[in-house]
């Protein structure tokens, strides 16, 4: 009896139907949302399940937007992301474990501002569907929290009253739609 070879299936991010956002507390009383406008990624899986899929993702730091040009310029500067020296944020998965019917624990290495650290993210699978063009699409919501200072993003401001201007915790929220490649 011959063993059947498992073929790898590649899925590519559809940026038209995806969003990559982050949220951070400002003055510890409100939340500012930012997003990346330019990013790409792929997911390679063996078999019919996304468990153990290999994921690679990158986002262009220069595409950051918080809907405030002055703040965006500051975030791209050497005081924050330093987009000239560190133009990309990257993620390479090291594991994707099923934790429920439609949930996964996604582990990997996140590289930002010249620092690479392991992270664990949550991924919720939204299902699959064929679009009007006969392409198979799948959706995921990926969430997690990182500490910005661990990545060398150490700019701090303090108000006259001694309050923190920007939280160390940064929430990541990515709604990703991927297209199955032929």
| DSSP helix/strand/coil, 73 | helix
Buried b / exposed e along 148-159 (16+ C-beta atoms within 10 A): beebebebeeee
| pLDDT for residue 154 | 83
pLDDT classification of 157: cutoffs 50, 70, 90: low
Give 84's DSSP letter.
T
Higher pLDDT, 124 or 24: 124
User: CATH number for the 8-180 domain, one of 3.60.20.10, 3.40.50.720, 2.40.128.110, 3.90.1170.50?
Assistant: 2.40.128.110
Report pTM.
0.89
* Cα Dmax for the chain: 76
| pLDDT for residue 49 | 84
Whether 159 shows a pLDDT value over 60: the answer reads no
Instruction: Locate 139 and state its tokens.
Output: 């959706």
Give 4's DSSP letter.
P
66 in Cβ contact with 75 (< 8 Å): yes
Domain locations in the chain?
A: 8-180
Whether 165 shows a pLDDT value over 90: the answer reads no
Instruction: Locate 41 and state its tokens.
Output: 């990624």
| pLDDT for residue 137 | 97
How do residues 92-130 score in pLDDT, each as one tens digit? Answer: 999 999 999 999 999 999 999 999 999 999 999 999 999
- The sign of the torsion formed by the CA atoms of 23, 26, 32, 36 equals negative
How do residues 48-90 score in pLDDT, each as one tens digit? Answer: 789 989 999 999 999 999 999 999 999 999 988 999 999 999 9
């Amino acid at each position: 009896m011959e063993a059947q070879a498992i073929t790898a299936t590649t899925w590519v991010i559809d940026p038209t139907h995806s969003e990559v956002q982050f949220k951070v507390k400002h003055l510890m009383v409100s939340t500012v949302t930012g997003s990346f406008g330019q990013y790409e990624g792929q997911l390679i899986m063996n078999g019919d399940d996304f468990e153990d899929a290999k994921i690679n993702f990158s986002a262009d730091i220069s595409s950051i937007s918080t809907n405030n040009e002055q703040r965006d310029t500051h975030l791209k500067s050497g005081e924050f992301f330093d987009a000239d020296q560190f133009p990309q944020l990257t993620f390479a998965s090291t594991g994707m474990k099923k934790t429920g019917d439609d949930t996964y624990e996604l582990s990997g290495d996140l590289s930002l501002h010249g620092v690479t650290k392991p992270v664990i993210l949550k991924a919720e699978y939204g299902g699959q569907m064929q679009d009007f063009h006969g392409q198979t699409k799948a959706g995921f919501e990926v969430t997690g929290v990182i500490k910005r200072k661990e990545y060398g993003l150490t700019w701090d401001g303090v108000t006259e009253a001694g309050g923190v201007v920007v939280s160390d915790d940064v929430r990541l929220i990515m709604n990703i739609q991927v297209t199955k490649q032929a």
